[in-house]
Structure 1
Amino acid sequence: MSDWRYALAQNRATLISVAFFVAMFAIYASNHPAGFSANVVETAANKGVLLALVAMAQTFVVITAGIDLSVGSVFVLSNCLASAIVVGSAGHAALGVLGVIATGAACGAVNGLIVIVGRLQPIVTTIATGAIFYGLALLLRPTPGGDVYEPLADALTGRVFTVVPASLVALAAVALAVWIPYSRSALGRAAYAVGSSEAAAFMSGLPVASAKASAYVLSGLTASLAGLFLTFVTYSGEASAQTGGSYTLYSIAAVVLGGVSLYGGSGSAIGAIFGALMFRTIGDLLFVFNLDPLWQPLFQGVVLLVAVSLGAARLFRVRNRLELFS
């Protein structure tokens, strides 16, 4: 197989998610009361980036054939923490940002430690730790409130050169700085191998434990970036169980829509990002077409079910798991 055909086969799901997102956003913008404008794109981008970052966090773990049901809680915890420490002077706010990111990475490290050393199933582990992380968020913010360093928030939620949403630039920077180096590193390749067959990866001498640990740490780190950005958008923190639960479920839908296999070993965070933007655009389309708000959760639930079913359907069609990677 030639190089370009191999690259096309490897990125087919990502390209499909990009095409669907572009088509859906074009329909949304053309039917929006304000039309296609910089304000409409900026608002949509700010909402989409939140889910995109959480979906990226989910991708790291899903690639190892795990699932992280605590990403929403880390997201909420980081939001509450940021509203308390990313304040004051520029220097104090910068230290606060580092503190939020370190907290997210620590949450991921706890998940990884329990899964690897305790040998518990990821779904059980992250349900338990997610409850703990949410409890910490509630302890920090029993009632909504707080603040954030305004210049930084305005810079990251505004527009670059009055046209391009700064949030999309920040999202691209995170993907370039975190996902691209990781996916091409030895640990990243080992994570893919663990997802396709952990036993085979171990027998091949790959660093299975390190690969899984790095995936969980990066998951927590990326989820904390999403929580930090939520603080920039809302200028406050809130320990909302509904928000955490919704973003966890939507992140699963986003990774599947982006071509990431829930069985591990296949997909990329880039696809998950466009899957998240696509899923968010579905909600926006329901708004512009005036669908009754009471029906919107039902419709999104159907989309989630269909997305997960389609993600599983491909595995049922193959006779040999290696066909997924050919």
Structure 2
Amino acid sequence: MTRMTSWVGRNRGFTGAFLLFAALFVGYQMMHPRGFSTAVFIQNANESVVIGFLAMAQTVPVLMRGLDLSVGAVMTLTNTIASHVVTGSPIQQIVGMTITLAAGTGFGLMNGLIVVYGRIQPIIATLATGAVAGGLALLIRPSPGGEISSDLNWALTNAVFDFTETLGFAQDGTAAWLQPIANIPMPLIIMAVFGICVWVPFKRTVTGRTIYAVGSAEGAAYMSGLPVARAKIAAFTLAGYFAACAGLYLAIQTSSGNADINQAGAYTLNSIAAVVLGGTSLLGGVGGAIASLIGAGILRVISFYFRILSIDPLMQSLIEGLVLLAAVSIGALRTLRVKNTLELFR
């Protein structure tokens, strides 16, 4: 009990975000006419994957006191790439997915190299590279289109049972091993495999710990001999990877590609809000990608309420804007408690 209390005390932001998400989600399910059903869970999961991946992408630079304004544009770029290459036979589709993820990861690597060796502030560098990514997306896909396999779409946007049935692993659905997991939404498994299973091991590496150290006190991290430059490059590379995961899933989900620049900007802003809502400090060194998933969940549940409460569409943007403003303001509360101004630069 003491250990749990100590953990909660050290992770108050995450704990508060999780409790808020749980309350909002349970309330939504209770109000929904078909709440607590597999169909509703799958729909909710599908609508949360893209913002979840982008929240994870934004988290890593934020942990170093930086912002990546290109995550939405990289998502859009990889979405258009996927609409061209994720097609054909199953092997060709896997190759296409690999190409898509590599493209986003490579773009993130470029961001990191520019920030480290160009010595440009991340917010400025990624604002410029985001414009480049948006331009490339329009060049690749001037108008919405493309064709993703309908089987791939069905398998990855429904339950585990649908996935196994599409791949021929369980034709009748009576296999004993399948029953306990048959109704788990595949989008959640995708988030776990491509997101959490990448972040958790990375966080425990020297490079991952250095990212936290840089966010807490970059000068001290450098004087301690930690690989600061490598950590910065790795952070933006990982951000590019997560953004590519978002773009790839969006292409599979919609079975097409769309170079929507306005959508890219909206997703970037929402990713920042999700990071802050999850308890990650904009001043760096505190938080994590899993916490940002909770923040993304909060944003999505709020949008779910719009449907069941029949809120005027003209009011929805206002409410979302107020939530975004509140989220960013929460991230700045720490500065109001600082008595010694020098602490702001630590």
Distance apart, 1:72 and its partner CA: 0.1
Does the Cα contact within 8 Å between 1:67 and 1:122 map onto a contact in 2? yes
| Residue 164 (structure 1) aligns with | 184
Cα distance between partner residues in 2 of 1:12 and 1:154? 39
- Look up the equivalent residue of 1:290 and give its one-letter code: S
Cα distance between partner residues in 1 of 2:29 and 2:292? 22
Q: 1:275 aligns with which of 274, 295, 301?
A: 295
Larger deviation, residues 300-309 vs 176-185: 176-185
In the TM superposition, what whole-angstrom CA distance separates every residue of 1:120-169 from its partner, at most 9, and x where no partner exists?
Answer: 11111111000000111111110100011333332221102442111011
Larger deviation, residues 261-270 vs 144-153: 144-153
Aligned length: 323
Q: How does 1:171-210 map to 2 (within 5 A)?
A: 171-210=191-230
| Residue 118 (structure 1) aligns with | 118
- Look up the equivalent residue of 1:141 and give its one-letter code: R
Q: How does 1:97-246 map to 2 (within 5 A)?
A: 97-160=97-160, 161-246=181-266
Cα distance between partner residues in 1 of 2:13 and 2:340? 20
In the TM superposition, what whole-angstrom CA distance separates every residue of 1:22-56 from its partner, at most 9, and x where no partner exists?
Answer: 11111212222333321111111111111010000
Cα distance between partner residues in 2 of 1:267 and 1:206? 20
- Look up the equivalent residue of 1:292 and give its one-letter code: D
In the TM superposition, what whole-angstrom CA distance separates every residue of 1:190-211 from its partner, at most 9, and x where no partner exists?
Answer: 0001111111111111100000
Cα distance between partner residues in 1 of 2:74 and 2:195? 19
- Look up the equivalent residue of 1:57 and give its one-letter code: A
Q: 2:305 aligns with which of 285, 289, 293?
A: 285
- Look up the equivalent residue of 1:212 and give its one-letter code: K
SS at match of 1:164: coil
Q: How does 1:8-87 map to 2 (within 5 A)?
A: 8-87=8-87
Larger deviation, residues 159-168 vs 271-280: 159-168
Gap change, CA 1:200 and 1:47, over 3 Å in 2: same
CA RMSD of superposed structures (Å): 1.8
Distance apart, 1:318 and its partner CA: 3.9
Cα distance between partner residues in 1 of 2:108 and 2:340? 33
| Residue 164 (structure 2) aligns with | none
Cα distance between partner residues in 1 of 2:255 and 2:15? 35
Does the Cα contact within 8 Å between 1:253 and 1:308 map onto a contact in 2? yes
- Look up the equivalent residue of 2:16 and give its one-letter code: I
SS at match of 1:87: coil
Does the Cα contact within 8 Å between 1:45 and 1:165 map onto a contact in 2? yes
TM-score normalised per structure 2: 0.89
Percent identical residues: 47
Does the Cα contact within 8 Å between 2:194 and 2:245 map onto a contact in 1? no
Does the Cα contact within 8 Å between 2:146 and 2:257 map onto a contact in 1? yes
Cα distance between partner residues in 2 of 1:322 and 1:4? 33
Unaligned 5+ segments in structure 1 are none
Cα distance between partner residues in 1 of 2:291 and 2:306? 23
Larger deviation, residues 121-130 vs 174-183: 174-183
Larger deviation, residues 8-17 vs 277-286: 8-17
Larger deviation, residues 159-168 vs 312-321: 312-321
Gap change, CA 1:89 and 1:163, over 3 Å in 2: same
| Residue 302 (structure 1) aligns with | 322
TM-score normalised per structure 1: 0.95
Cα distance between partner residues in 2 of 1:60 and 1:156? 26
Does the Cα contact within 8 Å between 1:14 and 1:270 map onto a contact in 2? no
Does the Cα contact within 8 Å between 2:195 and 2:242 map onto a contact in 1? no
- Structure 1 residue 92 and structure 2 residue 112: aligned? no
Cα distance between partner residues in 1 of 2:9 and 2:147? 46
Distance apart, 1:103 and its partner CA: 0.3
Larger deviation, residues 88-97 vs 2-11: 2-11
Gap change, CA 1:3 and 1:31, over 3 Å in 2: closer
Cα distance between partner residues in 2 of 1:3 and 1:299? 39
| Residue 171 (structure 2) aligns with | none
Larger deviation, residues 244-253 vs 193-202: 193-202
- Structure 1 residue 258 and structure 2 residue 281: aligned? no
Cα distance between partner residues in 2 of 1:227 and 1:10? 34
Does the Cα contact within 8 Å between 1:89 and 1:149 map onto a contact in 2? no
Larger deviation, residues 73-82 vs 309-318: 309-318
Does the Cα contact within 8 Å between 2:74 and 2:107 map onto a contact in 1? yes
